[in-house]
Amino acid sequence: MKYENFKEVERKWQNIWDEKDVFAATNDYTKPKYYALVEFPYPSGQGLHVGHPRSYTALDIVARKKRLQGYNVLYPMGWDAFGLPTENYAMKNHIHPELVTQKNVARFKYQLKSLGLSFDWNREINTTDPDYFRWTQWIFLQLFKKGLAYKKEMAVNWCTGCKVVLANEEVVNGVCERCGGEVVRKVKSQWMLKITEYAQRLLDDLDTVDYIDRVKVSQRNWIGRSTGAEVEFTTTAGDILKVFTTRPDTLFGATYMVMSPEHEMIEKWANSLTNIDAVNAYRQEAAKKSDFDRTEVAKEKTGVKLEGIMAINPVNGTQIPIYIADYVLTSYGTGAIMAVPAHDTRDWEFAKKFGLPIIEVVKGGDVQNEAFTDCYTGVMVNSGFLDGMTVEEAKKAIIAWLSEHKKGEPKVNFKLRDWVFSRQRYWGEPIPIVICDKCGFVPLPENELPLRLPHIDSYEQTETGESPLAKIDSWVNTTCPHCGGPAKRETDTMPQWAGSSWYFMRYCDPTCATGIAAKEALDYWLPVDWYNGGMEHTTLHLLYSRFWHKFLYDIGVVSSPEPYAKRTSHGMILGENGEKMSKSRGNVVNPDDIINEYGADTMRLYEMFIGDFEKSAPWNTASIRGCRRFLDRIWDLSEIVIEGSDYRAELETPFHKTIKKVSEDIESLKFNTAIAALMSLLNDITKLGTINRAELKTFLLLINPFAPHITEELWQKNGFEGMVTQQKWPEFDPAKCRENTIEIVVQVNGKIRDRLVIAADAKAEEVLAQAKITPRTAEELAGKQIIKELYVPGKLVNLVVKP
Ligand code: ANZ
Ligand code: ZN
């Protein structure tokens, strides 16, 4: 009978799992635990994408296997539901974002359930739930109290489309990540979180966690630690201009200086500069560009010389000109550089354009024609007391000299910037701060949390880009918790990254009303044992949540310094044409359609079989049918079941080998090869024509994490006790994983005549004796004399004969 009733079967088991609550994590903290985590989705209006189940199914397999291995498994799901798309939709359709969220969540939840994912739905969380964001606000207050949240006037990325301030990471290729609109610079007062204070620890502790390499590399680059020196140049105006350089060894080659157009010293020098109008015009132009545009290497260099002031090179007293140019950023180092055109590409291009001298200080290149940057093996020249040294020696020597002459010191810099934590939007957590004329920024008392969002009619920002909350006088006007005088609420809300920075803690104890979660719950469950998510979250979410976790560790809320013991990442699922799935390309596959046509088990198997888990893979409908046929063949096993309580001899090795392979492959993300091994085991079984009950049991257990519905049904259909979900994962005997038979090639006079299948431990004499009587060899040997017999163990027999 064909597996035609798959829909019924799948619905049946989903209902049973739900009713019996079989995937609930228990609060028995004496049991060994396993916390498997996937990134919770943003419940968008589009519903589930076929990319989501790739991650969810993978860790569902892990979670199901760990349960069978006896662990108390936490595999939770929730909703990261604040954010712009919902707010924009609400605005357009005049529906409250809360209702939009509810509707989207319902759809997502239905879709996830239809995939048979073994989430513990008792622990479902939603970042927009006041009982949840109460604690997001609480964490903010702790950061504020420790001086890690502060407000600062700063040039921010202003999206002309969304009319919001964007974090650097939300500006992609110079345009808004969301709407593609132009991004310009604008000065605004913003809440900031001091993630930079944790930069070194965020870097160091990467050595203590098991993350895949590309995640570690990309976090390291994002944190961007540079070592070098800060060097002081005196100017003819009498002030000191400080620079950060990673190459203090090249100081003798500094032929000019460059300041960022925003550098504060320029205002101060206004009266001494003879070309202040040109300088100001340039500064205005630069303000319109994003950091991305400014630092693009390929871009034509621009700049203006500051006429009337020169800088003095501390090491040789040479006077050199000062420029402002937008390739120097205000937010890195000191916002000013010493330019060494001979050994830095951007400086070289600038020097060529402005006719500035290029002095070689490390031998080996042709610096008039090209900057010689890859010069770490070279020797110093034109550099006074540094001449003849290697670059490394020169670095040490010059830093010692600078320190001794009080002209500089060793310095470490990080690329990582503080986290812009303000959004001028409605659909986010209100920042729980009261602004009082007398007392300044006053934290809301903790017993007033959650600070809820008022219901409003219009989600438009104000003309000046303030949050829509600023228009609600009844909400804004309040009293100061400190002095009791009239005061106003902060109207900025938190960025979307806030709620996801600690959600994995809330799952440990999702209804806790006295803290983010009970301490025992946090101590038991954390760190997360395995966290899988997209590569695109490596530098933002992953870093932000590590930062919050470390902060909460510092104030004694959690007991582990790192939140995630292991982090992996899945590749994207592309359209059938190999391009990214998108509405505009018309190549979007809807998971509902696949589940409807082939079933959830097929969908799950297919997404795990699609290729190397870490690489992107194009959708392929033919291959789905292959997975579906595999399930049909499994279904047919019911018809060939015989009695038996041990693996039969022919299947003993295949079973032990497959148990080993599937167990190990799941741990190392090789879901595709695990499935291939199961397919090959099925071939061995069907070749034999029967499967006994012991074999069937193991086979169903092995497939269960991948295809949970069909395996439960067959388990029941064959009269096995309980549910698969409640069994024990099969074990293997390493000794029985070896092949017990081998195939030997039989040659006569070097020509292959036959093949011999024989016990792996057969002795040479026996192999030779058996080889001679294989049918085609025997034929060949007839009437001839064997003069030499050769056996290459495990491989071949060669018989040399003469007529
Ligand atoms: C002199 C020099 C000579 C430099 C040389 C490089 C090569 P990383 O590794 O990224 O930290 N720099 C410093 N502050 C800057 C700013 N605000 N905007 C743009 N560039 C800045 O790079 C540090 C190097 O980048 C510094 O070392 C400085 O140029 C430049 F052969 O100083 B260097
Ligand atoms: Zn006050």
Q: Give the residue, by CA position, lying nearest to ligand 1 atom 29.
A: 245
Q: Are 2 and 630 in contact (CB under 8 A)?
A: no
User: Is 332's C-beta closer than 6 angstroms to any atom of ligand 1?
Assistant: yes
- The CB density around residue 322, as the number of other CB atoms within 10 Å, is 27
Same domain, 667 and 744: no
C-alpha neighbours within 13 Å on the C-beta side of residue 265:
22
Residue 290 pLDDT greater than 70, yes or no: no
693 within a domain of the structure (yes/no): yes
Backbone angles phi, psi at 564, to 5 degrees: -125, 120
User: Is 245's C-beta closer than 6 angstroms to any atom of ligand 1?
Assistant: yes
Q: Give the residue, by CA position, lying nearest to ligand 1 atom 11.
A: 226
Give the number of the atom of ligand 1 that is nearest the alpha carbon of residue 331.
Answer: 17
Give the number of the atom of ligand 1 that is nearest the alpha carbon of residue 226.
Answer: 11
pLDDT value for 167: 64
Same domain, 613 and 724: yes
The rounded Å distance from CA 128 to ligand 2 centre is: 29
Nearest ligand to the CA atom of 433? 2
- Quick one: average pLDDT of 310-326? 97
723 within a domain of the structure (yes/no): yes
pLDDT value for 134: 98
Residue 208 pLDDT greater than 90, yes or no: yes
- Quick one: average pLDDT of 64-83? 97
The rounded Å distance from CA 485 to ligand 2 centre is: 6
766 within a domain of the structure (yes/no): yes
CA angle at residue 579 from 575 to 585, to 5 degrees? Answer: 80
The CATH number for 279's domain is: 3.90.740.10
User: Is 226's C-beta closer than 6 angstroms to any atom of ligand 1?
Assistant: yes
- The CB density around residue 441, as the number of other CB atoms within 10 Å, is 15
The CATH number for 731's domain is: 1.10.730.10
**What DSSP designation does 272 have?**
G
User: Is 335's C-beta closer than 6 angstroms to any atom of ligand 1?
Assistant: yes
Same domain, 649 and 782: no
Q: Which of 718, 736, 754 is the last residue of a domain?
A: 736
CA angle at residue 60 from 59 to 62, to 5 degrees? Answer: 60
Give the number of the atom of ligand 1 that is nearest the alpha carbon of residue 373.
Answer: 31
278 within a domain of the structure (yes/no): yes
Three-state DSSP class for 433?
strand
Residue 639 pLDDT greater than 90, yes or no: yes
Same domain, 722 and 784: no
243 within a domain of the structure (yes/no): yes
Q: Which of 693, 710, 736 is the last residue of a domain?
A: 736
Among 734, 730, 731, 768, which Cα is nearest to 748's?
Answer: 768
Give the number of the atom of ligand 1 that is nearest the alpha carbon of residue 327.
Answer: 19
Residue 656 pLDDT greater than 90, yes or no: yes
Same domain, 666 and 792: no
Termini Cα distance of the chain: 60
- Which of 242, 245, 297, 360 has the most ligand 1 atoms within 8 A of CB, as the residue to mutate? 245
Same domain, 404 and 259: yes
- Quick one: average pLDDT of 220-248? 97
63 within a domain of the structure (yes/no): no
Same domain, 718 and 772: no
Residue of higher predicted confidence among 166 and 503: 503
Same domain, 316 and 397: yes
Q: What percent of the chain has pLDDT over 90?
A: 80
The CATH number for 749's domain is: 3.10.20.590
Q: Are 161 and 184 in contact (CB under 8 A)?
A: no
Q: Are 423 and 467 in contact (CB under 8 A)?
A: yes
Same domain, 729 and 766: no
**545-595, pLDDT tens digit by residue?**
999 999 999 999 999 999 999 999 999 999 998 899 888 888 899 999 999
Sheet architecture: strand order including 751-759: 751-759, 741-748, 796-802, 785-792
Three-state DSSP class for 56?
helix
The rounded Å distance from CA 244 to ligand 1 centre is: 7
Q: Which of 390, 414, 438 is the last residue of a domain?
A: 414
Q: Give the residue, by CA position, lying nearest to ligand 1 atom 25.
A: 245
User: Is 343's C-beta closer than 6 angstroms to any atom of ligand 1?
Assistant: yes
**741-754, pLDDT tens digit by residue?**
788 999 999 999 98
The rounded Å distance from CA 566 to ligand 1 centre is: 35
Compute the distance between CA of residue 628 and CA of residue 603 in angstroms, rounded to an integer: 9
**Contact partners, residue 298, CB within 8 Å, separation at least 6:** none
Give the number of the atom of ligand 1 that is nearest the alpha carbon of residue 375.
Answer: 31
Same domain, 614 and 714: yes
User: Is 250's C-beta closer than 6 angstroms to any atom of ligand 1?
Assistant: yes
The pLDDT confidence band at residue 120, using thresholds 50, 70 and 90, is very high
Q: What percent of the chain has pLDDT over 70?
A: 98
**698-707, pLDDT tens digit by residue?**
999 999 999 9
Q: What is the largest CA-CA distance in the chain?
A: 117
What total number of domains does the chain contain?
A: 3
**682-694, pLDDT tens digit by residue?**
999 999 999 999 9
- Which of 250, 297, 327, 337 has the most ligand 1 atoms within 8 A of CB, as the residue to mutate? 337
- The ipTM is 0.95
721 within a domain of the structure (yes/no): yes
The pLDDT confidence band at residue 630, using thresholds 50, 70 and 90, is very high
Residue 292 pLDDT greater than 80, yes or no: no
Compute the distance between CA of residue 99 and CA of residue 427 in angstroms, rounded to an integer: 12
**35-69, pLDDT tens digit by residue?**
999 999 999 998 999 999 999 999 999 999 999 99
Note the Cα 456 to chain centre separation in Å: 36
Cis peptide before 527 (omega within 30 of 0): yes
**147-180, pLDDT tens digit by residue?**
999 999 887 788 888 777 776 667 888 788 878 8
- Quick one: average pLDDT of 330-351? 95
Same domain, 654 and 717: yes
Q: Are 140 and 431 in contact (CB under 8 A)?
A: yes
Residue of higher predicted confidence among 570 and 776: 570
Residue 17 pLDDT greater than 90, yes or no: yes
Domain that holds residue 325: 225-414
Same domain, 731 and 777: no
User: Is 413's C-beta closer than 6 angstroms to any atom of ligand 1?
Assistant: yes
Whether residue 736 is annotated as binding a ligand: the answer is no
User: Is 408's C-beta closer than 6 angstroms to any atom of ligand 1?
Assistant: no
The pLDDT confidence band at residue 773, using thresholds 50, 70 and 90, is confident
Q: Are 723 and 613 in contact (CB under 8 A)?
A: no
**Contact partners, residue 565, CB within 8 Å, separation at least 6:** 209, 210, 527, 528, 529, 530
User: Is 745's C-beta closer than 6 angstroms to any atom of ligand 1?
Assistant: no
**What DSSP designation does 253 have?**
G
Residue with tokens 């010069």: 375
- Quick one: average pLDDT of 719-747? 90
Give the number of the atom of ligand 1 that is nearest the alpha carbon of residue 254.
Answer: 1
The pLDDT confidence band at residue 672, using thresholds 50, 70 and 90, is very high
